[in-house]
């Protein structure tokens, strides 16, 4: 309804899901139910996305494993994170899941959080501080909308209050990321979106990114200097994370480790195995065996 995506159920024969929405001023609130599945918004889907939206997603029963803007987050009940429809993302539901979501036009959100690229994909705790207040307010809003006890004329004002509360929660938790120079943050977000959409390209380098975006390699590296890792380290980490996910995804268990590595831009198995072990402390084969056994044991027989 809001953005192209693909749902990959763990068990296609028994999969079930439900989805309902309501409107609150400029916001669309949604409640979802799903049995275990992987939900992907890939580079192909991003190219099909014409309207930029931001989604606040909060599980109310069951965990959500989120991968977005280079951040891996485990959302427990009440936690939440923001995702950008103009960038790839993956959501894994390892168990039956109920969640609440808020769809916000990007331009509306930037009125409250001027540089949201700095916090996309980051987990916010819903059990303390203003994060807990966001958690409580969102649950209450959905109940009132569901019961039709909230007059529509109050929607815009309540939406404003809710977004101000979300902005305050992020400002208190991630003040540094939000307070950065807006141009630098915007450029870094642009670079990250490009990287996420081209992770499979084996020739993805700072020079290739600079050529594609009309910037200099030196400027690309300078803008990325605000991160905890260099741009090459970021690309390597994200490729390794994507390989790790695919190695243990039940939908890809028939794919060889070599095929997975080459699919995600590695041209040398020796380099892939060495980098993988350095990052995860085990070889790809050991990782698939250990994590794969855990995944299979969680699938209902």
CATH number, domain at 87? 2.60.120.10
Q: Which of 150, 179, 208 is the last residue before a domain boundary?
A: 179
Residue range(s) defining the domain that contains residue 250: 198-298
Give the residue from 179, 209, 236 where a domain finishes: 179
Indicate if 50 and 89 belong to the same structural domain. Answer: yes
**DSSP structure string for 41-54:** E-HHHHHT--S-EE
Indicate whether 185 belongs to any domain.
no
Q: Are residues 224 and 166 in the same domain?
A: no
Four-residue CA torsion sign, 32, 37, 38, 44: negative
Query: Crossing angle, helix 217-224 and helix 231-248, to 10 degrees?
Result: 70
Mean pLDDT of 62-67: 95
Residue 108 has pLDDT above 70, yes or no: yes
Clarify whether residues 126 and 249 are in a common domain.
no
Residue 226: predicted pLDDT: 67
Q: Report how many domains make up the chain.
A: 2
- Domain end residue (candidates: 179, 213, 244): 179
Start-to-end C-alpha separation, the chain: 32
Looking at the structure, tell me whether residues 13 and 101 fall in a common domain.
yes
Residues 126 and 211 both lie in one domain:
no
Residues 191-217, mean pLDDT to the nearest whole number: 90
CATH code of the domain containing 259: 1.10.10.60
Separation in Å, CA 265 to CA 89, 124, 203, 261 = 18, 32, 8, 7
Please state the pTM of the whole predicted model.
Answer: 0.73
Mean pLDDT of the chain: 89
Q: Is pLDDT above 80 for 209?
A: yes
**Residues 149-166, mean pLDDT to the nearest whole number:** 89
Q: Specify whether 36 is located in the same domain as 163.
A: yes
Query: Is 256 among the domain residues?
Result: yes
- Whether 78 shows a pLDDT value over 70: the answer reads yes
- The verdict on 219 and 135 lying in the same domain is no
pLDDT at 280 over 70: yes
Classify residue 124 by its DSSP letter: B
Predicted local distance difference test score (pLDDT) of residue 292: 63
CA angle 19, 24, 25 (to 5 degrees): 140
Average pLDDT over residues 196-217: 91
Per-residue pLDDT tens over the stretch 226-272: 677 889 999 999 999 989 988 887 777 778 999 999 999 999 999 99
Together in a domain, 137 and 174: yes
In a domain, 273, yes or no: yes
Query: Which of 89-93, 145-149, 204-208, 225-229 has the weakest average pLDDT?
Result: 225-229
| Residue 32 counted as domain residue | yes
Kindly give, in sequence order, each residue whose CB lies less than 8 Å from that of residue 59, ignoring residues fewer than 6 positions away: 75, 76, 77, 78, 79, 97, 98, 99
Residue 299 has pLDDT above 70, yes or no: no
């Amino acid at each position: 309804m809001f953005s192209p995506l693909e749902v990959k159920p763990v068990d296609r024969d028994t999969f079930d899901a439900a989805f309902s929405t309501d409107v609150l001023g400029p916001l669309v609130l949604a409640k979802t139910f799903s049995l275990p599945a992987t939900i992907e918004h890939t580079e192909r889907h991003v190219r099909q996305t014409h309207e930029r939206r931001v989604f606040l997603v909060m599980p109310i029963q069951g965990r959500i494993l989120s991968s977005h803007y280079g951040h891996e987050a485990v959302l427990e009940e009440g936690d939440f994170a923001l995702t950008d429809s103009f960038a790839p993302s993956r959501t894994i539901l390892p168990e039956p899941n109920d969640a609440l979501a808020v769809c916000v036009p990007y331009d509306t959100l930037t009125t409250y959080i001027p540089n949201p690229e700095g916090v996309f994909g980051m987990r916010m705790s819903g059990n303390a501080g203003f994060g807990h207040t966001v958690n409580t307010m969102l649950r209450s809003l959905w109940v009132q909308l569901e019961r039709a006890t909230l007059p529509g004329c109050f929607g815009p004002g309540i939406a404003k209050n809710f977004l101000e509360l979300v902005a305050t929660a992020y400002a208190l938790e991630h003040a540094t990321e939000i307070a950065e120079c807006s141009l630098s943050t915007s450029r870094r977000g642009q670079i990250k979106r490009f990287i996420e959409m081209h992770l499979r390209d084996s020739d993805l380098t700072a020079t290739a990114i600079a050529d594609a975006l009309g910037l200099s390699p030196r400027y690309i590296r300078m803008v990325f200097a605000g991160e905890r890792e260099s741009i090459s380290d970021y690309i390597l980490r994200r490729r390794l994370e994507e390989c790790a996910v695919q190695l243990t995804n039940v939908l890809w268990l028939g794919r060889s480790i070599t095929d997975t590595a080459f699919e995600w831009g590695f041209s040398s198995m020796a380099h892939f195995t060495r980098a993988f072990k350095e990052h995860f402390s085990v070889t790809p084969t050991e990782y698939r065996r250990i994590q794969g056994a855990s995944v299979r044991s969680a699938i209902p027989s």
